Structure 1
Amino acid sequence: MLDSLLPPLNEHNLPYPDTIHPIVVHFVIAMVLFAFVCDTVSYFTRNPKLAEVSWWNLVFATVSIFIAVIFGQIEAGLAEPYDAAVSTLNLHSILGWSLSGVLAAVTGWRYVLRLQNKPQLPTPYIVASVALVGLVIAQTYLGDLLVWVYGLHSVPVVEATRGGQL
């Protein structure tokens, strides 16, 4: 009965035309990296306008990462990963949830710093931003493996899975 209420899955094993998670997550990646660049330049040049640009990028990245995680979970559930991809997909999922918490915490910290209206960001915050960028890079690598090595949601892999070849 429940199957009749759900839309049919297409050749990507999705109920919609193509994956949404990568589209949203690329905004998150770009905004976090750009926020880091703005904060770093602001730190060395003492330009408060760049710190403001960084703040707004972090806010939108934080909202966007939760959207990315939700679609990531939906698409991971529909992926039907084969044995070789399971551990990478699980690690990517765990790191995605963790990264959303870390990003929210860094954004919260940045909000407190913004309220204090200090002329320069503290060094520990810059160090935390470096760690955040490192997590984003690691997560991006895992996502790249899932798409470009394991081919999740690609038509040939979906067909092979449906045909019992994987």
Structure 2
Amino acid sequence: MTTWTIAGTLTVEPASKHPELLADPVAKALAALPDPDALGVAEIDPELADTAAFCEAYSTPLSASANCVVIAGKRAGEVRFAAALVLATTRADVNGVIKRRLDVRKASFAPMAEAVELTGMAYGGITPVGLPEAWPILIDKAVAEAPELVIGSGIRGSKLLVPGHVLAALPGAEVIEGLAL
């Protein structure tokens, strides 16, 4: 079992052994990974799922947390979606790098209800693991290079712990330098 140096006060278990702590699409995608045991999961208070509150409550470093946001943009009447994963200490360059990557006139955060419906995940728990296959997963280079990170699990009641290289190897993942500001 992996020893997570960023776990703080969390009790981390192998994610593959606890599908009840994952959204259904996350559990399905995890099972398809080459090394599903590389990911840990920890149960948390759902009221503390937001990054700043989570880090404070569980003594995990903000610098080792990554946030996944769903971005939408339109081109010729077609809505294009992507997910962006950046360190919690930064923000995604939505109207620069992401807008150009999606080849849209304007990019913005997808409406909450639409993001939840399309991903099958809870708002505040959306994660790059288990997103719709057609979506690009844009990963900031700093995330890909991180030895270990805390990310969402698809639900608000747990968090995944994962090495950055595993996220960079997800189907549809693109590592982009300068994705985050």
Query: If the length of structure 1 is used for normalisation, what is the TM-score?
Result: 0.22
Give 1 or 2 for the bigger CA radius of gyration.
1
User: Higher strand fraction: Structure 1 or Structure 2?
Assistant: 2
